[in-house]
Structure 1
Amino acid sequence: MRVLIVEDETLIAELLETVVQEQGHETIGPVSTMEQALAYAPRTDIALVDLGLSDGNSGHLLARRLIDRFGIDVIFVTGDPGPVQQGFDGALAVVRKPFSDDDIIDALGRALDKRSRSVGRRIAS
């Protein structure tokens, strides 16, 4: 699975990248702007998205575009989940900073489960 990391804090981006790769997934990025994220979207299965992007755009807006245009599963990674809970924006999960490896692994597992169910429904049709 290809996981796009959208995070403007270098240390957090590196931690996410390590956890994702240790689970056997390919990482794309990390990137920190909407433009960069959208450029990589066609090659992406799941996106880990921070709410605040370095270009001033909102992770909410990016999530909507990734979901609506590309059908990408989005997992928010944020230090302030309040805005996410008010407007979940179709994201599959929310991981709160500071996070543990298990938090990321669990969220990725939910995404994999969802993808497996979707593939199973398409095959059964």
Structure 2
Amino acid sequence: MRVMIVEDEFLIASLLEAVVHDSGHETLGPVSTVEQALAYAPRADIALVDLGLSDGNSGHLLARRLIDRFGIDVIFVTGDPGSLPYGFDGALAVIAKPFRDEDITDALQRAIDKRSRSVARQG
């Protein structure tokens, strides 16, 4: 799977990148703005998205675009899970920082399982 990392903190992005690679997946990014994320989106299967981006945009608005326009599975990784707008749906998981590697790998596995079920229904 190709996992896009949308995170503006270098250390967190590096940690996420290492977990994704160790899980056997390819990473795209890391990127830190909506514009960069949308450029990578056509090649991504899953996106790990922070709620606060370096360009001042909201990760939840980016997530809605990734889900609706590209069909990308979104997993939020945020220091403030309570800032997600009430009633937001579509994300597979919301993981609080600091995270454990298992939190990320478990969420990635849920995304893979969801995609497998979807392909099985279509096939």
Instruction: Name the TM-score class by shorter chain.
Output: over 0.9
Q: What residue number does 2:63 align with?
A: 63
Match in the other structure for 2:5: 5
The equivalent of 2:26 in structure 1 is 26
Q: How large is the Cα RMSD of the aligned pairs? A: 0.9
Superposition map of 1:33-52 within 5 A? 33-52=33-52
Corresponding residue number in structure 2 for 1:99: 99
What is the DSSP-based 3-state SS (H/G/I as helix, E as strand, rest coil) of the residue aligned with 2:95?
strand
1:24-74 deviations in Å (ceiling 9; x for gaps): 100000000000000000000000000000000000110000000000000
2:76 aligned residue? 76
User: What TM-score comes out, normalization by structure 1 length?
Assistant: 0.95
Q: 2-side partners of 1:87 and 1:28: how far apart?
A: 29
Give structure 1 stretches of 5+ with no counterpart: none
Count, aligned residues: 123
Q: Any stretches of 5+ residues in structure 2 without a counterpart?
A: none
TM-score, length basis structure 2? 0.97
Q: Residue 48 of structure 2: SS of its match in structure 1?
A: strand
Sequence identity of aligned pairs in percent? 80
For 1:33 and 1:83, the matched residues in 2 are separated by 18
Stretch deviating more after TM superposition (13-22 or 76-85): 76-85
